[in-house]
Amino acid sequence: MIPPVNVVSREFKANPYPFYAQLRAEAPVYPLTIPVRGKAWYVTRYDDVLALVKDERFVKDTPNVPAGAQALRPNWMPPFMRPIAQNMLSLDGDDHTRLRGLVHKAFTPRLIDEMRGWIEVLSNQLLDDVAEKGSMDLIEDYALPIPTTVIAQMLGVPVEDRHKFHRWSKAIVSSGSGSTFGALQMLPNLYAFVRYIRGLVKLRRANPQDDLISALVEAHESNDQLSEDELIGMIFLMLVAGHETTVNLIGNGTLALLEHPDQWTLLRDNPSLIKSAVEELLRYTSPVETADERYAREDVTIAGVAIPRGSLVYGVIASANRDPQQFENPDALDITRENNKHLAFSQGIHYCLGAPLARMEGQIAFNTLVCRLPDLRLAEPVESLRWRPSQMLRGLEALPVKFTPQPVGEKIPVA
């Protein structure tokens, strides 16, 4: 008997893996009720999740969704929300391919690689700021500032405005707890955020700079360019989704390493393992717990279970990444694991555009952490840690840690 669970609750987020193991064994395609969203199907086995995210019978864009699913989507939304509701993640087929192609022209490997030295300086400065204290909240003081500062720097958000961006983003993501009240509370922050992005786009059209927003404004192919609404949706996606997952990678990954001191020591003593370590932490902690929503365009059968046309379906990445049919000893953290074909960044046409940046940020963040604070340890019992209520993401609200205080010389300024 599978017990009822609230998959967006803090309690569930603390350890969802036993529930997913039961689903894989007994009901790999399982119907459950998600607060606000209603009935949905959870697909939990690796092979099925991989097939789902590549299957064109499952769609995202509202016009492609059968009428039976419309009740699961808002019938009306404030006009200011429409650009962000139609971003690259929510489009299918040619519409998605067009946007992704234009964004690829701006979000280049060269642009990402140019950030490497800057991220190293930033990571060290953040640890300089807490070194003499001997303690910190690893989320607030380290995991959050790295990706938020990096994406803001890349996009060209002025330094004096970044505190607003942090505040808006936190409020918007926190609203994903599954309550109608939380969704309503999000609206003023969302309005302010969209208005601010629209203003930045206007400024860059008039006066281009050496930043990603200017590159997105100028990106074109065959006389095609991003419209203003498409620009706003893309920038919003990068600012919010582009940093929240990395915050969770660094926070969840550090907790996992501290819970497995043998792996912490192994990484500390063997920095060359950093690439495989980050891949394993992506698999083991799954910062994105489920792939984003998809709707069945027609009746579909998965693992012998009939999913009716119009159904809301989620591929559970966190479950797929612990599937023993794909990974040997999947509940063990092994930073030397090879052939690690995890689904942390999804697959198919919606494979995460920011995966190379997230990997680089994770590698630098963990390497800096183990080198600078080799005796890092938890300041509170694991049981007392609070997880953020969310449906798609899995991350800590705070991670109190302590270490031997260190004297710090002259701090390195970061632009």
Q: What is the CATH number of the domain that holds 236?
A: 1.10.630.10
Residue at 149 is within a domain? yes
Q: What is the pLDDT of residue 410?
A: 45
For the segment 335-346, the average pLDDT, to the nearest whole number, is: 95
Enclosing domain of residue 98? 10-402
Q: Which candidate, 288, 209, 299, places its Cα nearest to that of 248?
A: 288
For the segment 153-158, the average pLDDT, to the nearest whole number, is: 87
Residue at 162 is within a domain? yes
Residue at 279 is within a domain? yes
Residue at 2 is within a domain? no
Q: What is the pLDDT of residue 230?
A: 84
* DSSP-assigned states of every residue in 54-75: H-TTEE-SGGGS-GGGGGGS-S
Q: What size, in residues, is the chain?
A: 415
Q: Give one word for 409, left, alpha or beta, with left for phi > 0 and alpha for psi -120 to 50.
A: beta
Kind plus residue range of the DSSP H or E element containing 275:
helix 274-285
**Maximum mean pLDDT: which of 176-185, 214-223, 243-252, 335-344:** 335-344
Residue at 414 is within a domain? no
Number of domains in the chain: 1
Instruction: Write the pLDDT tens digit of every residue in 12-38.
Output: 999 999 999 999 999 999 999 988 778
Residue at 1 is within a domain? no
Q: Which residues of 58-87 are buried (b: 16+ CB within 10 A; e: fewer)?
A: bbbeeebbeeebeebeeeeeeebeebbebb
Residue at 84 is within a domain? yes
Instruction: Write the pLDDT tens digit of every residue in 39-52.
Output: 999 999 999 999 99
For the entire predicted model, the pTM comes to 0.90
Other CB atoms within 10 A of residue 115 CB: 18
Residue at 106 is within a domain? yes
Weakest mean pLDDT among 191-200, 344-353, 375-384: 344-353
Q: What is the pLDDT of residue 182?
A: 54
Other CB atoms within 10 A of residue 404 CB: 11
Q: What is the pLDDT of residue 85?
A: 67
Strand ranges inside 200-286, DSSP E: 220-221, 224-225
